[in-house]
Amino acid sequence: MHMAGAPSQLELFDYKPELQKLDGQVCPSEFLEGKRFAFITGVPKLLGPAWPFHREKQTGLWISSLLPKFEKHLDKVCMIHTMQTDQFNHAPAQLLVHTGSQNLGAASFGSWVTYGLGTVNENLPGFIVLLSGGTNPDGGKSLWGSGFLPSVYQGVQCRSEGDPVLFLKNPPGVTRELRGEMVDRIRKINQRAYEDLGDPETLTRIAQYEMAYRMQASATDAFDISQEPPDIHALYGTQPGRESFANNCLLARRMVERGVRFIQLFDWGWDTHGTGDDNSVGKGLKRKCDQIDQPVSALLTDLHQRGLLEDTLVVWGGEFGRTPMQENRAGMEMAFKGRDHHPSAFTIWVAGGGIRGGCSYGETDPIGYNPVGEGVPVRDLHATLLHLMGMDHKRLIYPFQGLDQKITGVKPVRVLDKILA
Amino acid sequence: MHFMSKSGWVWRYRIAGILCSGLVLFSLFSWSLVVIGGEIRFAQEVRPIFNKHCISCHGGVKRAGGISFIIRDSLIGKKPQPVIVPGKPEESVLIQRVTSTDPKKRMPPPEHAAALSAEQIEVLRRWISQGALWEPHWALVPPKAPVIPRPKGDQWCRGSLDRLILARLESAGLEPAREASRSEWMRRVSFDLTGLPPSLDDVRGFEADTGVDAHEKVVDRLLASPAFGERWATVWLDMARYADSMGFEKDSARTIWPWRDWVIRAFNQDMPFDQFTIRQLAGDLMANATLEDRIATGFHRNTQNNSEGGTDDEEYRVAAVLDRVNTTFEAWQGLTFKCAQCHAHPYEPIEHKEYFQVLSVFNQTRDWDLREEFPLIKVPQEQAEFGAAARLDLDISKLRRAEFADAQNLGVAGSDNWSGLMPVAASSTHGTRLVHRPDGEIRTEGTVAHYSRFTVELNPPAGDAPLTALRLEVSPIDASKARLTPEMGFVVSFIRLAVVTSNQPIESVEAAKPMTGEVVLSHAFGDEAEPFGDVNAVLSPDKGGWGALPRMIGKRSIVVVPAEPLKVPPGARLVVVIYHDEGPGDFAALVMTRFRLAGSTDPGWSAMVRAEGFKARRKELAELNKERASIQSVEMPVISEVEPQFQRATAMFVRGNWLDKGAEVSPGVPQLYPPPGSTNRLDRLGFARWLVQEDNPLTARVAVNRFWEQLFGVGIVETLENFGSSGEAPSNPELLDHLAVRFQRDLKWDIKKLLKDIVLSATYRQEARATQEKLAKDPRNRLISRGPRTRLTAEMIRDQSLALSGLLSKKMYGRPVMPVQPEGIWRAAYSSEKWVVSPGDDRFRRAIYTYVRRTAGYPSVVAFDSPSRDVCTARRLRTNTPLQALVTLNDPAHLECAKALALRMQKEGGGTAADQIRRGLELATGAKAVGADVDALLSLYGQALDVARKSPEDTLKLDASPEVYAMTIVASTILNLDAVLTR
């Protein structure tokens, strides 16, 4: 689950009482020298957390008041507080977190996983992408693109409104029976062509048409959330036929049940700069949290109650974090409280398949600016997630342009053993 | 065998191809596979040992002990103990170390890998004792015309190409396939040359033509068709990463289609490939560059532009320049040159520094990741007006340069005729703090806010001569760093001058209100000959201004001239107010941070602006500008060189980090290449000429390989993007060299003639039928033991549907169009751009005219492997997926074609459904319909007719009669047949 725009770790997960005390004070110069920011300029002021935190009883983890339902699942969750990236603009940072490279052209994490694991349901795409928030993520479709991998591994963007997969439905007036007959004739004529010409691709094409025909039925069924009972709709807060994060969470569970290997939800609207009330870390952030708190919790509950959570890995995060300083765009004071993009430390949480629940990993300094000790670069997270899915990041390679390409690149990488169950 | 000496290397170069019977392998790695008389061959036997066992520590990236098994000099000349002593294996450290029994000395170290085998050590030993001759990688040796073999079945051959193919086939124990039927060849050649299916009339006409030149007539007609340019431009657009949007977050619209049209015209006019190259890389620098030449430079303005708020324009300018270098090498050289961006190339002899030497060639362009995409040129909408527009542009440029030269003579920058004006006070709005120093310099302190307006009080120059000009000089904070990593720039939107007596308070700086004692400033002169905007904009509060947008690499200056020479009364002071109201101030403060003011009493300034010649020139300029504006034009981004005073210094990036600058470099080409020939200056033009100079080993090979791949489905070198030692070896090296030499020398880079050669060959005329034997011995048809059979490209699939249905619009060129697309594809962040289906025939244009938005491609071409055009794509990997079936079965655009085809079948086919179906199959494949296929579709027609009669509401949804409905179902099925989706 990618919260495009970058949710504020300082309002949600990384509790910093010291930052509260320093609210309104000038940011010390050691945090500014040699740093580049998207919007902060000159000498900004520190900004205390806009929402109260408390300690969740069972796990002892600190959590903000903005996610009351989610907090009941902390026993299944591990928070990584010291995530780091080296990009501070949305599109490049989203590319980095999804493809391991800030440049375009690399393969997305979902494509790598699909390339590595294959599929267990041939009637559905192996890698499904669902969007909410009304806007595509800043990085566009490259975030689920196959890059240098063959395009069969690219994520298929599905929709919770309209045709779930583009061109899935028969054209108006073409019945399923008639379509069956069409595919039958295509098979017959292609088979004859194969016998004449001996091109093996023809056989593949026959198979693909038959799979497309089956997919029309199975995908339509898979995406029909109106089949769910009322208590499930109540649990998620879903309304069939609309595009929403809640619907996408419920769809995700249906995909997990059907053996889709990789499902990615993108939700847009987390870029809390404070240029208006709607994107402040106050009201704006609360609005976004209200949209996701129940569905995320419902998904964890639902996967758990169906026995699916133990072999499903749930990952939630953004492309970077947000600054401990209040944004001062173009050197001016802003009317609402907001934070700029912050690549040096941010929180991503993981739950389910193979994760030690109720834990946190890494610690940031008293104002949440830098990790104390070593941070967790995106490549470490990638390696850890691949490990949890049974793959060694060093051996998941694809030869391209003379190099055995890996999602983790060439720098040193470690698997985060401490978060494993 | 002969020796060549170059760059201190002794190269042994051997033309491979002597094949011993009994040792022939059906391998891709056929660059000679034979042992000749016990002599060790470096490329086949030695280099693989180095690459596998040595170069991860002693290679391009890591050179432990300064030793690299990629670079011969690091092995031979090494002191005190050479790694290799030619002729003396036992004195060579290499042999000592690989045979050592001491685990501390043994190479490869026991903890890393097992010892070399006895055979491998023997190979190395013999190679050294035979002189340790080094051979460069095959692709780095210029191609030579191969000896043309005389195969046994020579009567089959129509030319050298066929002989080279047949010799390979015979050595593999294969025979060529029969000649294809006329309809099969015609379909193949029509798609290959024009991207469109042949008309049935053309097929029948060709079948009836018994002349010996029947094939040639077809080819000549296809090569002359305007569709030829559209087909081949599509291939080049992948290379150029052409799109109609800028990329990244907002992915805003970009107007660069005039470049796409230039490519189509270039192919249609049969522009030789060398000219095609030079114009795209450096058309702007050619003597007497035409408007078309400047449009051609759009090739490298297809880089992405990141206009996301808060992005660093220098960072993405650098990214674009890197992309230009990488794309140039991938598209023209098939080299993974970009590997050398962060370190020396791991496999090829390319040094880290050499990457930056090439970068410095490309680093002198004016573009700077601005969302306005400067520099732009105005391209007339009507091609007929290109000439007039170009003449006006030239005249305007001359007048601007003349005025610039006059002002420079008086000294806009430098010169002694200026006296520094000492500030008495300096203040700013918006909370920005200013301090001034005794030497007259004024600086900001702390946070600088955008829109800050500076008010500076100054003492007038000494003496009583009137003030004739005021100069503003702006400096970077750290000039030595800014040279290599530019500082944030500034835009001055308005400069005002007033004279105040000592006790007057400074007045409001509201733009609308005049100031007491305000002096009218009438002229402004900047420090560049042709800035993007008019510097005189600083004389008024209106739009526009002058400055360093978005960054500054050094000192900048502007002079403003009062309408009348200014006499300053004794005791009075000057007040200068500077506004920063322009620029993309929503995120960055484009405000001066360090500046000083100077005054001049040189009467030359007043004299210049009063001179009749000056006034006449300005008047003429205004008239010419007006005349140019009357030519309806679109503005497109182009490549253009910086003015000499703004030349950039280029430094290496330490480990690829653009913020960490290392040693400075000057322009150069990598040592592995022959040096540039005739040119004495290695600018972009010199570089482009060097790429196509006679002894470049790669340009012609890479080009002919691409044409071959388009025609045969797989390149002679399968990795079109990588001809290096880590790429695939050529399946038929002699053929590759034959084609390269023929293209470059005999045909003088003539693309149409090259294609004509190939498509008329016996090789290309083979039928595609694959026998069991051929599938076993040549499974992927790398030897071309039969005719090629490949799936149509994404663009061909769309164009074919339109062509068969009769809907295809023949209109060429112009703005991209928007055919039918499902809702909800376009929803980029912070963008209000919408997909609006084009009216009329525009939705039936060829796929090359479909709007390409990078972050949200047109779904039905994306499904068929059309790339996103984010980066150069030298090769499309063909896939075969169920989602493709959904597109051609269900996409409303394809269904619309199916219905139109059904109507056509009914109109042209005759009275019975069977005849109509036969007609449909023949239209779609060009071949005679097979009875069983007609029967199969006839029964489908019957079933569909039943459905239509039983539930008329279904036919209503298609807006069709039962017969049209049923035939539409059949037509849609035809459009999905394997025979129709392939060529």
DSSP string, A259-325: T-SEEEEEEE------SSGGGSTTHHHHHHHHHHHHHHHHHHHHHHHTT-GGG-EEEEB-SSEEEEE
In a domain, B612, yes or no: no
> Which strands, in side-by-side order, build the sheet including B518-519?
B423-428, B454-458, B573-579, B494-500, B518-519
Same domain, B773 and B898: no
Q: How far apart are CA B25 and CA B29, in angstroms?
A: 9
Band of the pLDDT at B48, cuts 50, 70, 90? confident
Same domain, B93 and B159: no
B981–A205 CB contact, under 8 Å: yes
Mean pLDDT confidence for B768-786:
94
Choice among A265-269, B109-113, B312-316 with the minimum mean pLDDT:
B109-113
In a domain, B463, yes or no: yes
Q: What pLDDT is recorded for position B815?
A: 97
Q: What pLDDT is recorded for position B38?
A: 74
A403–B829 CB contact, under 8 Å: no
The nearest CA of chain A is from the CA of B225 a distance in Å of 31
In a domain, B692, yes or no: no
Choice among B518-522, B674-678, B681-685 with the minimum mean pLDDT:
B674-678
Q: Name chain B contacts of A44, Cβ cutoff 8 Å.
A: 447
Provide the 3-class DSSP secondary structure of residue B744: helix
B892–A171 CB contact, under 8 Å: yes
Q: Name chain B contacts of A4, Cβ cutoff 8 Å.
A: 829
8 A C-beta contact, residue B673 and residue B696 = yes
- Residues within 8 A of B (CB atoms), A 263-292 only: 268
The nearest CA of chain A is from the CA of B291 a distance in Å of 32
Same domain, B9 and B47: yes
Q: What pLDDT is recorded for position B415?
A: 63
8 A C-beta contact, residue A23 and residue A47 = yes
Is A26 in CB contact (< 8 Å) with chain B?
no
Q: What pLDDT is recorded for position A402?
A: 74
Which of B719, B744, B777 is the endpoint of a domain? B777
Neighbours of B141 (CB within 10 A): 17
A167–B822 CB contact, under 8 Å: yes
Backbone φ/ψ region at A386: left (φ over 0), alpha (ψ -120 to 50), beta: alpha
Q: Residue A208: which of B312, B885, B955 has the nearest Cβ?
A: B885
Which of B550, B568, B602 is the endpoint of a domain? B602
In a domain, A181, yes or no: yes
Band of the pLDDT at B942, cuts 50, 70, 90? very high
pTM of the model: 0.90
Is A134 in CB contact (< 8 Å) with chain B?
yes
Nearest CA in chain A to B871: A105
Nearest CA in chain A to B945: A178
| DSSP symbol at A364 | B
A182–B889 CB contact, under 8 Å: yes
DSSP B75-131: HHS-SSS-S--TT-GGG-HHHHHHH---TTT-SS-TTT-PPPPHHHHHHHHHHHHTT
Taking 90 as the threshold, does the pLDDT of residue A162 lie above it?
no
Band of the pLDDT at B571, cuts 50, 70, 90? confident
Provide the 3-class DSSP secondary structure of residue A338: coil
Q: Does residue B11 or residue B568 have the better pLDDT?
A: B568
- Please give the structure tokens belonging to residue B539: 């004389």
In a domain, B72, yes or no: yes
Q: What percentage of chain B has pLDDT greater than the value 70? A: 94
Give the containing element (helix H, strand E) for B962.
helix B962-975
Phi, psi at residue B721, to the nearest 5°?
-90, -5
Q: Name chain A contacts of B449, Cβ cutoff 8 Å.
A: 42, 330-332
A198–B947 CB contact, under 8 Å: no
Same domain, A194 and A137: no
Same domain, A348 and A408: yes
Mean pLDDT confidence for B340-356:
91
The nearest CA of chain A is from the CA of B221 a distance in Å of 29
Is A193 in CB contact (< 8 Å) with chain B?
yes
Band of the pLDDT at B526, cuts 50, 70, 90? very high
Q: How far apart are CA B765 and CA B762, in angstroms?
A: 5
CATH number where A293 lies: 3.40.720
Q: Which domain holds residue B919?
A: 892-981
Widest CA span in chain A: 81
In a domain, A342, yes or no: yes
- Residues within 8 A of B (CB atoms), A 338-377 only: 340-341
Same domain, A202 and A246: no
Q: What percentage of chain B has pLDDT greater than the value 90? A: 77
Mean pLDDT confidence for A13-26:
96
Same domain, B125 and B170: no
The nearest CA of chain B is from the CA of A331 a distance in Å of 4
Q: How far apart are CA B447 and CA B569, in angstroms?
A: 37
The nearest CA of chain A is from the CA of B574 a distance in Å of 29
In a domain, A234, yes or no: no
A193–B977 CB contact, under 8 Å: yes
Q: pLDDT for B603-650, tens place per residue?
A: 999 999 999 999 999 999 999 999 999 999 999 999 999 999 999 999
Same domain, A110 and A176: no
Same domain, A72 and A216: no
Taking 70 as the threshold, does the pLDDT of residue B935 lie above it?
yes
Q: What CA–CA distances, in Å, run from B304 to A95, B588, B919?
A: 14, 21, 47
Q: What pLDDT is recorded for position B960?
A: 84
In a domain, A232, yes or no: no
Is A191 in CB contact (< 8 Å) with chain B?
no
**Which of the residues A41, A45, A143, A189 would you substitute to probe the B interface, choosing the one with the greatest number of B C-beta atoms within 10 Å?**
A189
Q: pLDDT for B428-437, tens place per residue?
A: 998 999 999 9
Mean pLDDT confidence for B802-809:
98
CATH number where B532 lies: 2.60.120
Is A325 in CB contact (< 8 Å) with chain B?
no
B319–A103 CB contact, under 8 Å: yes
A402–B726 CB contact, under 8 Å: yes
- Residues within 8 A of B (CB atoms), A 53-112 only: 88-92, 103-105
Q: Residue B587: which of A171, A192, A330 has the nearest Cβ?
A: A330
Same domain, A258 and A214: no
Same domain, A218 and A109: no
In a domain, B206, yes or no: yes
Q: Name chain A contacts of B451, Cβ cutoff 8 Å.
A: 330
B446–A186 CB contact, under 8 Å: no
Is A220 in CB contact (< 8 Å) with chain B?
no
* Residue B466 neighbours by CB under 8 Å, 6+ apart: B565, B566, B567, B568, B601
Question: Which residue bears the tokens 């209200």?
Answer: A290
Q: What pLDDT is recorded for position B680?
A: 65
Same domain, B82 and B165: no
Q: pLDDT for B4-22, tens place per residue?
A: 333 322 233 222 333 333 3
In a domain, A51, yes or no: yes
Choice among A90-104, A159-173, A324-338, B499-513 with the minimum mean pLDDT:
B499-513
DSSP A65-110: TT-TTGGGGGGGEEEEEEEE-S--SHHHHHHHHHHS-SSTTSPPHH
Taking 60 as the threshold, does the pLDDT of residue B25 lie above it?
no
Same domain, B105 and B179: no
Same domain, A173 and A138: no
B153-B159-B161 Cα angle (round to 5)? 90
Q: How far is CA B605 from the centre of its chain?
A: 46
Nearest CA in chain B to A4: B829
Give the containing element (helix H, strand E) for A11.
helix A9-12
Mean pLDDT, chain B, rounded, equals 91
Band of the pLDDT at B3, cuts 50, 70, 90? very low
Q: Name chain A contacts of B860, Cβ cutoff 8 Å.
A: 167
Q: Which domain holds residue A357?
A: 2-165+241-419
- Please give the structure tokens belonging to residue A132: 């909410």
The nearest CA of chain A is from the CA of B955 a distance in Å of 6
Mean pLDDT, chain A, rounded, equals 94
Number of domain units in chain A:
2
8 A C-beta contact, residue B628 and residue B396 = yes
Is A178 in CB contact (< 8 Å) with chain B?
yes
Q: Does residue B77 or residue B144 have the better pLDDT?
A: B144
Same domain, B8 and B119: yes
Nearest to B468 by CA among B515, B430, B519: B519
Q: How far apart are CA B303 and CA A104, in angstroms?
A: 11
Same domain, A325 and A402: yes
Would you say the C-alpha torsion B821, B822, B823, B825 has a positive or negative sign? negative
Q: How far apart are CA B398 and CA B875, in angstroms?
A: 44
Question: Which residue bears the tokens 């267990």?
Answer: A120
Question: Which residue bears the tokens 């990463």?
Answer: B241
In a domain, B646, yes or no: no
- Mark A373-395 as b/e (b = at least 16 C-beta within 10 Å): eebbbbbbbbbbbbbbbebebee
Q: pLDDT for B251-303, tens place per residue?
A: 999 999 999 999 999 999 999 999 999 999 999 999 999 999 999 999 999 99
Same domain, B120 and B14: yes
Nearest CA in chain B to A145: B868
Band of the pLDDT at B62, cuts 50, 70, 90? confident
Provide the 3-class DSSP secondary structure of residue A347: strand
Number of domain units in chain B:
4
The type of residue at A259 is: G
B247–A190 CB contact, under 8 Å: no
Mean pLDDT confidence for B362-380:
96
Band of the pLDDT at A305, cuts 50, 70, 90? very high
Same domain, B103 and B205: no
DSSP B364-432: TB-----TT-SSEEEEESSGGGHHHHHHHHHHHHHHHHHHHHHHHHH-SSS-SS-EEPPEEEEEESTT-
Mean pLDDT confidence for B228-247:
97
Same domain, A75 and A190: no
Helices (H), B592-712: 603-610, 612-629, 684-691, 699-712
Same domain, A329 and A374: yes
Choice among B268-282, B504-518, B588-602, B657-671 with the minimum mean pLDDT:
B504-518
In a domain, B119, yes or no: yes
In a domain, A271, yes or no: yes
Q: Name chain A contacts of B857, Cβ cutoff 8 Å.
A: 141
In degrees to the nearest 10, what's the CA dihedral of B590, B591, B593, B594? 110
Taking 90 as the threshold, does the pLDDT of residue B599 lie above it?
yes
Same domain, B207 and B98: no
Same domain, B77 and B189: no
Is A328 in CB contact (< 8 Å) with chain B?
yes
Which of B749, B777, B805 is the endpoint of a domain? B777
Same domain, A248 and A364: yes
Q: What pLDDT is recorded for position B520?
A: 96
* Complex ipTM value: 0.89
Mean pLDDT confidence for B120-126:
93
Q: How far apart are CA A25 and CA A19, in angstroms?
A: 10
Strand ranges inside B479-593, DSSP E? 487-492, 494-500, 518-519, 521-525, 546-552, 556-562, 573-579
**Which of the residues B793, B881, B959, B964 would you substitute to probe the A interface, choosing the one with the greatest number of A C-beta atoms within 10 Å?**
B881
Which residues face A55 on adjacent strands? A62
In a domain, B870, yes or no: no
In a domain, A228, yes or no: no
Q: Quick one: A35 exposed, middle or buried, by C-beta within 10 A (0-12, 13-18, 19+)?
A: middle
Is A218 in CB contact (< 8 Å) with chain B?
no
Q: What pLDDT is recorded for position B679?
A: 62
Same domain, B170 and B24: no
A186–B977 CB contact, under 8 Å: yes
Backbone φ/ψ region at A237: left (φ over 0), alpha (ψ -120 to 50), beta: left
Q: Name chain A contacts of B865, Cβ cutoff 8 Å.
A: 151
- Please give the structure tokens belonging to residue A318: 């953004």
**Which of the residues B978, B980, B982 would you substitute to probe the A interface, choosing the one with the greatest number of A C-beta atoms within 10 Å?**
B978
